[in-house]
Amino acid sequence: MKDGKRVFLSGVNQAWIAYGYDFGDKQYYSRKSQFEHYLKLVHDNGGNSVRVWVHIEGATSPHFDGNGYVTGLDKTGSFINEFKEYLKAAHKYNILIFPCLWNGAQNHQDVHYRLDGLIRDTNKLSSYINKALIPFVNAVKNDPALGGWDIMNEFEGEIISGQHNADSCFDTSILKAGGAGWAGAMYSAQILLRFVNWQADAIRRADPHALVTAGSWNARDNTDKLNTHNLYSDHCLRKAGGKQEGILTFFSTHTYSWQGKYDQYAPFKHRASDYGLGKPFVIAEFNQVKGAGMDITAQFNYAYNNGYAGAWSWHIKADGSDTDSTDNQLRGLRSLRGKTDQSKGGVVNFSL
């Protein structure tokens, strides 16, 4: 909601210029022109939001000491000013920024040990929260271009699937046949949910009005309907980490076809209400190239017309595999430009 009206987050995943090396230690300044180029493209084609990856696996941000404890957002102390510059540019183009802190979809052994320490060791996680996350939130929480926070991208990449547990929150039996754990089955559901819970709690204590999510790999993990269970529910997050404020204010998921078809849980086969969430639901990654034959304009319009709170295509820089071209994503954005229907997605273009 904005100014009393429903809004629809129509946008893209940045997600990076240089994976793991975009913010901190003055790295942003050599990427600034590219970041601003994509902000302008999104604005000029009718988009209003961008999801951007920040720490990822901890390659350069935050800064760790030799024992795996976080000492600050970066080594030189420039991180906050860099990110504020990015937000300033986003404000200029009326773009809301949603920083995604961590990535669970890949495991680069040369740097992942840093993130691993935060996931497994609550003392190390506390050092990140106190020395980096809370200062980050406090520095940008009043910026009009800050949209919200995504704690972790697809933690299912590193989850141990097939674990039986009497508590459905921590039972991953249903994930066994689906491919979860592709980046290395290292962590139980409980440990990963605690990781999300503690950070969400810190963000919401520092900024009670913050929007917070965690991008799931598959909508199957976001619902207690459809013969599955919601790993990301308030109940499960609180049970895992014990922090009462450590819950998500909106849900988000990613959806790609497999062998040319969407699975039975895919958002493009359901209305948002089918998941029974009681909170906004954003399709935070999708594209045409893995869209089961759907054109990208059909995908954006399906999300707008079927109760979702937003749609972010993958990904605007268009490098690597399984991404639409930049031009095709912009074509998708243009299909929603100027829409205002309050009975559907709502207002797409607004001033910050």
Q: Which residues are catalytic?
A: 154, 285
Distance CA 293, CA 284 (A): 19
What is the separation, in whole angstroms, between the first and last Cα of the chain? 13
Q: What is the largest CA-CA distance in the chain?
A: 54
Q: Could you tell me the two tokens for 200?
A: 């969400």
The backbone torsions φ and ψ at residue 215, rounded to the nearest 5 degrees and listed phi first, read -80, 110
- The DSSP annotation for 277-294 comes to -SS-EEEEE--STTSTT-
Enumerate residues 6+ apart whose C-beta is below 8 A from 206: 134, 137, 138, 141
Distance CA 124, CA 186 (A): 18
Burial class (CB in 10 A: 0-12, 13-18, 19+), 352: middle
Distance CA 183, CA 156 (A): 9
